[in-house]
Structure 1
Amino acid sequence: MSFLFQSLLTIGLPLIGLPLLIHLINLRRRQRIEWAAMDFLLESQKRNKTWVVLKQFMLLLLRTAAVALAVFMLAGPVVRSGWASLFGRGMTHHLILLDDSYSMSDRWEESSALEEAKRAVMRILDQARGRADNQAVTLLLFSEASRMAAGSGATIDRRPLDAEAMTELERYLSRLLPSETGAGPVEALQAATRLPEPAVDETRIAYLVSDFRRPQWQKQAALRQLTSRLRQRSAKLLLVQSVYAERPNLAVTRLAPESGIRAAGVETPMEVAVANYGAAAVHAVTINIEQDGARLPAVAIDEIPAGEEATGRFRVTFPEAGSHQIAASLESDAVEADNVRYFAAEIPPTFPVLLVDGSAEGDDGYFLRTALSPGGRNRGGWSPQVEPPSFLRQHERLADFAAICLLDVPRLDDPEIAALEAYVGDGGGLALFLGDRVQRDFYNQSLYRNGAGLLPAPLDVPTQLLVDSQAAADVQVTDHPVFDVFAGQRNSFLNVAKFNFYHAIDPQWTQPESGEVRTIARLRNGAPLSLEKKLGAGRVIAHLAKLSPRPTELGAWSNWAINPVFPVYANELIGYLSAARRRFDVQEINQPTTISVPEAEYQPDARVRPPRNTGGGATVAATAKNGQLTITAPDKPRSGVWAFDLKTRDGKEQTKLVAVNVPVGEGRLQIADREALAEALRGIDYQYALASEFDEAHDDLAGFRLADTLLYMLAGALIIEQLVAVSASYHPAGGRRSA
């Protein structure tokens, strides 16, 4: 016999002696008083003493039994023997939460974390099948938790354990492989607490079978609350750990362009990051790179300290417009799932850039357009479009451009300002080149707007930079990405950059401590030349001097546009500003794999081919909403590059690729041992076991519940106690009282 609530039994057992204690206390409180008239009563008492004492003894036993029955009933006794089914009723429900996240693929020798966990689950099922009472099982995988949050049930839900079910469960577990999700205990416990409450005759035993990784179990507040809630709904909670030692592991955590994708034929700088989740530094790490299936030179990282991440860089060029893919992979280690990362993008022929030229002769637009698209074999990947300020009235067209440049624009209307602010706030990049036509009061009032507008800082009057023959260079730049061309030995190019005039900053202005505005280049007198401001998801860079070297009424402002490296600077500037809008489609396993395309351009059906697929894929109907077609892959998400074969409205075939990666961090293999779990779950009643040591001693709550039988016995004992109490009292019988 075992008890559902052992603590109640421990507290209640001493209460069984309470009736005896009260009886003894009442005996001590009696006082002997001599009264002559009592002699007749004493004589009668002597004749009936035996019968009276017997009644009093029966009354004491009944009261003691009533307290004992109440204590045992509340403690929830469970009996496993077959004869108990004559008195008890119920079902033992085994709720098994099985971790199948990709950290469970941790391998050693001939086993793995998931294999150990599956063996423990089979022991649970074998023990349950051998019991005499009714047995049922619910198997909830960690990877199912998010699906259950949407209203779905567990794959195996309250399944009676008969011979057929055992065969099916054994087959199911034998085919079960680690998922590629990063689902943790929080999600699984949330799903478990959403299950229906146990029935009256149900004994629920909960098992949490996992590798218990330390990073996940450090979220102590949420885990303690959810685990406590599960424990309250269960007769017993067992934690079964399937990993016994920590192993080193490397993971590719990032594969992406340094500053957005580039156009076809333009070299794209890429970066790949590798995390060392082990306890010791690793050396000479080799990262294999593939582009569209072709092997590229490997990237080498000399050293990655323990617990840290290192980044390697390489360059790729996509020769043609269209969908392309890249993969970065490591050699095999404890966990294979995070050894590879994928990248896919739709590479355009060029990226459109809007140049709004407000200069008198249109010369600012000429120099910047020439630098971005010089023609011939010099391909920058930009398609600059020079327009007058009136073009900004076409607000709906601004989203088509990768970046926008305002070149010496005198002023703008309020709707145009609002459209530019919305463009930048949504991730767009804006460059302001300020020349002699800029209206200072308008810029300060409407574009700076006390720090809330596009302009990073309020302007003062145009100022002349005095000649200093001793100065080495007029310009001092920071390590900002747009000035990479001036780094190292190439700093000599700054010596030929000459500035005569610039827009000074209002001397009352101070740079915000928030860091949203910073100076990225200064003149030799310390005055800011270039300022950057973050606004929403986008950024603004203000260049406080006219771009064209041609003379104005003040004279020539600078020779910046004819500096030998200005074309490189112009490309880096536009590349930096447009990085957020030159998007690429990379998704994670935890979400359905989808793409969205304009409804007006594509037919509503698509063929979806999963990664490493040799067949023809599956045809999927798109969902139309708000002018977009959304296509969702029918199969369960898995890592790799998915292909969506589409047809345009005019019948042309196109293939769009989507890279799907495993979530970062699940490969941290540090384990939470028995002591760490005890600290995280302090105050919760649970039992702990290693999967290799798990045995039938943990199935002691399976059996028949006797609470109902004890309740009936308690009611009977109370009725009999009342009858005996009336019989043993000195009250006259009803007939004699009426006489």
Structure 2
Amino acid sequence: MSFLFQSLLTIGLPLVALPLVIHLINLRRHQRVNWAAMDFLLESQKRNKKWIMLRQLLLLMLRTTAIALVVLMLAGPILMSQWGSLLGSGVTHHVLLVDDSYSMSDRSQDTTGWDEAKGAVSQILEQATANPGTQKLTLLRFSVATDLSAGKEMEFASRSLDRGVIEEVNSYLESESVTETAVGPSEAFQAALALPEREPGESRILYVISDFRSRQWLDNNQTKQLLGQLRQEVADLQLVQCINQTHPNLAISKLEPEAGIRAAGVETWMELGVTNFSDKQAVAVPVAVTQDGQKLPAVEFDEIGPGQTVTRRFRVAFPDAGPHQVTAQLPGDALATDNSRYFACDVPNSFPLLVIDGSGAGDDAYYLRTALSPGGSAKPGWSPRVEPPSFLRNHDQLDNFAAIFLLDVPRLDETEVTALEDYVRAGGGVALFLGPDVQPSFYNERLYRDGTGLIPVELDVPTQLLSVGDEETPDVSVEDHPVFRIFAGQRNSFLSVARVNFYYAISGLGESPEQIRVLARLRNDAPFVVEKQLGKGHVVVQLCKLSPEPTSLGVWSNWCVNPVFPVFANELAGYLTSARRDFDTQEVGSQLSFTLPEAEYKPEVMVRVPRSGQEEVINLSARAESGNYLVDAGLSKVSGVWQFELSPLQQEADRKLVAVNVDSVEGDLNQLDRDKLATQLEAIDYQYSLASQLTAADEQLAGFRLGDTLLALLLAALVAEQWLAYRASYHGRVKGVSR
């Protein structure tokens, strides 16, 4: 027997002793009084004492029984046996929450967690139909729980259970496979709490059929709280575990460019991360890599420690502009779903850069443009556009550029300063090269603004770097940063021949030094290149003139004619533009949608769904919205590279690739065993079983509510108590006396 509101027993059952306490208190209120006629009464009491005591004892028992019946009736008892059909109502509603996240594909010998779950569902339904009374079924998969808020209906909701429904459920689950989602129990519990209220006379049994992974259950207060609320709503809670041991598992957790994609023909560094979800070290792990279907050299991981994620870098070069894809694949293990990861991008011929040259002679832009786009057979992937400072008045055009360079610009107006700050905060990158035409007072008042503005430092005056007589000490030393990483740690590099004569000294740093970093220093430890993060973007300031041409002070440096400078300029452009060289990678379960200009495309779109056995093709008709077509392919249910074949108006067919990956954290197969689960769910009453050990002999799968029976017994007890109280009183009616 179980109870709907078991906590009421703890509170109510002690009240059963209340009549006895009252009786004992009344006995203490009696006082002994000597009275001559008492002798006759005492003699009568001796003759009738046993009968009087028996009536008082029966009266006390009836009163305590009445209180106990009230408490039991409010607690909602459920009798889990066939005897209950003689005493209570027999409408039993079986609510099955079935975990179909991809960790349920965990394989053990010749079975998987999903196979065990399907067998458990079938066994539960067989047991339920063998019990008398009306049986009902609600089946809810974890992956569907997240869609219920969007109006999607459950596959089986409050269905009367019979042989036909059992066959329908078995056929349905057999046709379904484990999803690639990482949905947890909390979403399913919230959906179960939102089910319609119980009908009169209905008892519910909740089954949670899952693998009970540690990351979703251990120290998860939300899961425990939701399950506790559900326990108060059901007659019985059954936890069915489908996996009985933890298997080691590796997962690819990262595949993306180190600093955004590069243009066609330019090498891109990719980062590949592998996570070891086990307590043992993994050694000699090869990862196969393909680019547009062509095999690349495998990436080797010598060792990956327990619970660690190790990242390796490899290079790719997309030969031409357009959509491209990269795939990484681990060898097979307990879980196949997280062994693959995908990357897709649309590679342009080049990225546009805006160069604003404010120097008097206009010579700074020549050296920067030559370094970024030297011409000939070289393909750096940049298209620098040189403009005067007045171009910044075209504020609406700034977003068309991947990065902006300001070269010795004297000053800007207020709207231009605001436009640049908005550009950076939205993810853009700005580089400033200072020079003799710069007005330090303006830079400090409007661009520095006590550390809250665009630049990271407060400028002092141009200062000469004095010689210390040590020819072995280079003028410039660099930090380990993406802009200078290629030079860090190198001996006898071209950095040693870089010469700096003049630079801007600084008076102070910004108010948020954690967002400011010195990337290069001079030999006197003065900052030479400084970076600041502002919003989502970055600002890099070189405190020295770019051009080596003579000025009124003399030649500032030979930095831009040093062989180091073209590498520095390209790395700087790559760093500043990384946020604007984005790529489209999403997670399973996300909405696959994007817009197309209505003036350039037709609304017809064909979608090729990846990894669907035989290739699945979906034909869409995009919806027009505010001059654009909204292409919406719904929720991504499978991982892989989705191909959208577009129909441009003026050119040949075009494609858009979207990489969809699983949440690699679901690959953590560490689970809670029976004892750990009991510790985690302390104070929650439930029954536990392994799916592999669930048999037809198991009970507690159907129940009968005894509320009506207890109410009838309570009424009978109250009537008997009143009759016996009247008979046991000393105030009976005297014959012949009228009132």
| TM-score normalised over the length of structure 1 | 0.93
How far apart are 1:471 and its partner, in Å? 3.3
| Alpha-carbon contact 2:430-2:576 (below 8 Å) kept | yes
| Alpha-carbon contact 1:592-1:637 (below 8 Å) kept | no
Which residue does 2:573 correspond to in 1?
574
How far apart are 1:699 and its partner, in Å? 3.7
| Alpha-carbon contact 1:235-1:701 (below 8 Å) kept | no
Judged with a 3 Å threshold, the aligned counterparts in structure 2 of structure 1 residues 153 and 470 are, in CA distance, closer, same or farther, namely: same
- Count of residue pairs brought into register by the alignment: 737
How far apart are 1:87 and its partner, in Å? 4.5
Q: Deviations over 1:538-591 (max 9, x none)?
A: 001000111111111111111111112322211110001100110000000021
Which residue does 2:92 correspond to in 1?
92
Between 18-27 and 404-413, report the one with greater CA deviation.
18-27
Judged with a 3 Å threshold, the aligned counterparts in structure 2 of structure 1 residues 735 and 662 are, in CA distance, closer, same or farther, namely: farther
Which residue does 2:518 correspond to in 1?
519
Which residue does 1:254 correspond to in 2?
254
Which residue does 1:228 correspond to in 2?
228
Q: Deviations over 1:659-707 (max 9, x none)?
A: 0000121111111222322232222222322222334576426232121
Q: Deviations over 1:140-159 (max 9, x none)?
A: 22212221243434322222
Match for 1:371: what amino acid?
A: A
How far apart are 1:90 and its partner, in Å? 4.1
Consecutive unaligned residues of structure 2, counting only runs of 5 or more, are none
1:15-414 pair list within 5 angstroms: 19=19, 30=30, 33=33, 35=35, 59-60=59-60, 62-79=62-79, 84-85=84-85, 87-414=87-414
How far apart are 1:650 and its partner, in Å? 3.3
Q: Deviations over 1:506-565 (max 9, x none)?
A: 1xx256564100101011111100000011000010001111111111111111111123
Match for 1:557: what amino acid?
A: W
Q: Deviations over 1:402-444 (max 9, x none)?
A: 1111111111111111111111001111100001110000000
Note the aligned Cα RMSD (angstroms): 2.8
How far apart are 1:200 and its partner, in Å? 3.6
Which residue does 2:479 correspond to in 1?
478
Between 519-528 and 198-207, report the one with greater CA deviation.
198-207
Between 568-577 and 3-12, report the one with greater CA deviation.
3-12
Which residue does 1:461 correspond to in 2?
461
How far apart are 1:292 and its partner, in Å? 1.0
| Alpha-carbon contact 1:220-1:681 (below 8 Å) kept | no
Residues of 1 paired with 2:446 and 2:661: CA distance?
Answer: 45
Between 309-318 and 439-448, report the one with greater CA deviation.
309-318
Residues of 1 paired with 2:704 and 2:372: CA distance?
Answer: 81
Residues of 1 paired with 2:402 and 2:568: CA distance?
Answer: 17
Judged with a 3 Å threshold, the aligned counterparts in structure 2 of structure 1 residues 669 and 626 are, in CA distance, closer, same or farther, namely: same
Residues of 2 paired with 1:281 and 1:84: CA distance?
Answer: 55
How far apart are 1:712 and its partner, in Å? 2.7
How far apart are 1:710 and its partner, in Å? 1.4
Residues of 2 paired with 1:290 and 1:422: CA distance?
Answer: 39
Q: Deviations over 1:239-277 (max 9, x none)?
A: 222222221111111111111001111111111111111
Residues of 2 paired with 1:668 and 1:57: CA distance?
Answer: 64
How far apart are 1:47 and its partner, in Å? 10
Residues of 2 paired with 1:53 and 1:552: CA distance?
Answer: 122
Residues of 2 paired with 1:703 and 1:33: CA distance?
Answer: 59
Judged with a 3 Å threshold, the aligned counterparts in structure 2 of structure 1 residues 646 and 732 are, in CA distance, closer, same or farther, namely: same
| Alpha-carbon contact 1:3-1:701 (below 8 Å) kept | no
Q: Name the SS of the counterpart of 1:602 in structure 2.
A: coil
How far apart are 1:399 and its partner, in Å? 0.9
| Alpha-carbon contact 1:286-1:299 (below 8 Å) kept | yes
Match for 2:703: what amino acid?
A: G
Q: Name the SS of the counterpart of 1:463 in structure 2.
A: strand
How far apart are 1:634 and its partner, in Å? 4.6
Which residue does 1:687 correspond to in 2?
687
Residues of 1 paired with 2:476 and 2:12: CA distance?
Answer: 85
Q: Name the SS of the counterpart of 1:183 in structure 2.
A: coil
| Alpha-carbon contact 2:253-2:274 (below 8 Å) kept | yes
Residues of 2 paired with 1:651 and 1:443: CA distance?
Answer: 48
Between 478-487 and 126-135, report the one with greater CA deviation.
478-487
Which residue does 2:562 correspond to in 1?
563
**Is 1:711 the equivalent of 2:711?**
yes
Which residue does 2:603 correspond to in 1?
604
Q: Name the SS of the counterpart of 1:256 in structure 2.
A: strand
How far apart are 1:136 and its partner, in Å? 1.6
Which residue does 2:500 correspond to in 1?
499
Match for 2:98: what amino acid?
A: L
| Alpha-carbon contact 1:81-1:132 (below 8 Å) kept | no
Residues of 2 paired with 1:481 and 1:14: CA distance?
Answer: 72
Which residue does 1:588 correspond to in 2?
587
Between 426-435 and 113-122, report the one with greater CA deviation.
113-122
Match for 1:461: what amino acid?
A: V
Q: Deviations over 1:438-490 (max 9, x none)?
A: 00000000000111111111000011111344133110111111113424446
Q: Deviations over 1:292-318 (max 9, x none)?
A: 111112111222122111122221111
Match for 1:673: what amino acid?
A: D
Residues of 2 paired with 1:303 and 1:65: CA distance?
Answer: 70
How far apart are 1:352 and its partner, in Å? 0.4
Q: Name the SS of the counterpart of 1:427 in structure 2.
A: coil
Q: Name the SS of the counterpart of 1:671 in structure 2.
A: coil
Judged with a 3 Å threshold, the aligned counterparts in structure 2 of structure 1 residues 344 and 338 are, in CA distance, closer, same or farther, namely: same
How far apart are 1:205 and its partner, in Å? 1.5
Residues of 1 paired with 2:589 and 2:616: CA distance?
Answer: 25
How far apart are 1:174 and its partner, in Å? 1.9
How far apart are 1:342 and its partner, in Å? 0.2
| Alpha-carbon contact 1:454-1:535 (below 8 Å) kept | yes
Match for 1:555: what amino acid?
A: G
Residues of 2 paired with 1:638 and 1:2: CA distance?
Answer: 42
| TM-score normalised over the length of structure 2 | 0.93
Between 16-25 and 233-242, report the one with greater CA deviation.
16-25
Judged with a 3 Å threshold, the aligned counterparts in structure 2 of structure 1 residues 485 and 27 are, in CA distance, closer, same or farther, namely: closer
| Alpha-carbon contact 2:201-2:705 (below 8 Å) kept | yes
Q: Deviations over 1:314-346 (max 9, x none)?
A: 211111111111101111011001101000001
1:434-453 pair list within 5 angstroms: 434-453=434-453
Residues of 2 paired with 1:541 and 1:114: CA distance?
Answer: 53
Match for 1:457: what amino acid?
A: V
How far apart are 1:607 and its partner, in Å? 1.3
Match for 1:609: what amino acid?
A: R
Match for 1:105: what amino acid?
A: S
Which residue does 2:552 correspond to in 1?
553
**Is 1:721 the equivalent of 2:721?**
yes
Q: Deviations over 1:341-398 (max 9, x none)?
A: 0000011111100001111121111111111111111111111111111111111111
Between 298-307 and 368-377, report the one with greater CA deviation.
298-307
Q: Deviations over 1:589-626 (max 9, x none)?
A: 02122233334432233111101465571122324445
How far apart are 1:93 and its partner, in Å? 1.6
| Alpha-carbon contact 1:620-1:634 (below 8 Å) kept | no
Match for 1:374: what amino acid?
A: P
Residues of 1 paired with 2:488 and 2:52: CA distance?
Answer: 110
User: What is the aligned-residue identity percentage?
Assistant: 55
